[in-house]
Structure 1
C-alpha cells in the first residue's frame, strides 16, 4: 500500500476530526475562526473537499453520516479512523523534528534580484519593509489577544511566525541599507 501523501491541509483536517466528526465547511470555518488560515491555505473551499476525498481514499477518514436538511444540499460528516490517528501522530512527529525544504517566493525573488535596476530593488524592498512592519504589529496584537483568554499553547504558531517576520524584517532593512550605501550593486542585465 502507498503511504498517504502528507500536506499541511491534510494535517489540519485530521486534527479537526480528532475533536469530533464534522463536515468540510465546518472544518474550513474552524480553521479560519482559530486563525489557522495563517498556516493552512483554505482560501479555496474545493481544496478542503479534495483533501478529504483523498483522506477517505487512503482510509484515514471515513464517512460518518450523510444528511439533507430541508431544501439545502446534502451534507456529509466525516470522522477520523484509527489509521488516521496513527498517521496524524506520525506526520506531526516528522514535521516537528525534520526541517523541510520549502520553496518560498521571497528567497527565489532575491536570487533573481539583478534583473531589476538597483533603485527599483530598493523601492520594492522598502515597500516590503513597510509591509513586514505592519505584519509584525498584527502578529503582536494577535499574540496579545490570544493570551488574554487562552493558554500560550494556542498562540505558539503565531509566536513562531512573529519571530520569522522579525528576522526577515531585520535582514531586509540591512539589505536596503547595503543597497543604498552601494555596498551591493550590479549592472542591470
Structure 2
C-alpha cells in the first residue's frame, strides 16, 4: 500500500477530527470560523468531501455514524483512527522541518515581467502595494483580536503571514521605486512589451 498523500487540507481534516467526530460541513465551518481558511483552501466543499474519502480509503479516517434526519440528506460523521493520529504527527514534523518548493503566482509573474510595458508594470505593482497594505492591517487586527481571548500559540500562523506580507510589501515598494527611477530597464529600446531574449552566458 502506498504512503498516504499529504496535503494542507488533509492535515486540517485530521486536526479537526482530533477534537471529536464530525461531519464534513462542520469541519469546513470550523476552519472558516477559526480563520484557518487563510492557510487552508476550503472554498469548494466538494474538495473537503474528496479529501475525506481519500483519508477513509487510506485508513486515516473512519465512518463513526450515518444519520438521516427527516427531509434532509444522509449525513455521515467521521472519526480519526490511530493511524490517522500517527500520520498527522508525522506530517506536522515533516512540514515544520522541511522547506518545500512552492509555485506561487507572484514570482512567476515577476519572471515574465518584460511582457508588460514599464508603465503597466508600475501600475499593477502599485495596486499590489495597496492590497498588501490592506492585508497587513487585517492581520494586525486579527492578531490583536486573538490575543485578547487566546494564548499566542493560536495566532502564530497569522504572525508568520504578517512577516511574509510585510517583507513582500517592502520589496514591491523598492521595486516600484527602481522602475520609476529607471534603475531597472527593459531589454527593448522603446520599453514596449515584446519577445525577451536573455543575454548569453
2:111 is the counterpart of 1:111:
yes
- Listed one character per residue, the Cα deviations across residues 156-186 of structure 1 (whole Å, up to 9, x for unaligned) are 0000000000000000000000000000010
Aligned to 1:81: 81
Aligned to 2:62: 62
SS in 2 for 1:66: strand
2:165 is the counterpart of 1:165:
yes
RMSD between superposed Cα atoms in Å: 0.5
Correspondence list, 1:103-142, <5 A: 103-142=103-142
SS in 2 for 1:71: coil
SS in 2 for 1:76: strand
2:33 is the counterpart of 1:33:
yes
Q: Where in structure 1 do 4 or more consecutive aligned residues deviate above 3 Å? A: none
Q: Give the number of aligned pairs.
A: 189
SS in 2 for 1:19: coil
CA–CA distance in 1 between the matches of 2:20 and 2:148? Answer: 26
CA–CA distance in 2 between the matches of 1:12 and 1:99? Answer: 19
How far off its partner does 1:65 sit? 0.2
How far off its partner does 1:71 sit? 1.1
- Listed one character per residue, the Cα deviations across residues 83-125 of structure 1 (whole Å, up to 9, x for unaligned) are 1001000000000000011100000000000000001000000
Correspondence list, 1:84-103, <5 A: 84-103=84-103
Aligned to 1:6: 6
Any gaps of 5 or more consecutive residues in structure 2?
195-201
Instruction: Tell me the TM-score normalised to structure 1 length.
Output: 0.99
SS in 2 for 1:63: strand
Any gaps of 5 or more consecutive residues in structure 1?
none
How far off its partner does 1:70 sit? 1.4
CA–CA distance in 2 between the matches of 1:107 and 1:101? Answer: 12
2:143 is the counterpart of 1:143:
yes
Instruction: Tell me the TM-score normalised to structure 2 length.
Output: 0.93
Larger Rg belongs to: 2
Higher helix share: 1
How far off its partner does 1:80 sit? 0.3
- Listed one character per residue, the Cα deviations across residues 137-158 of structure 1 (whole Å, up to 9, x for unaligned) are 0000000000010100000000
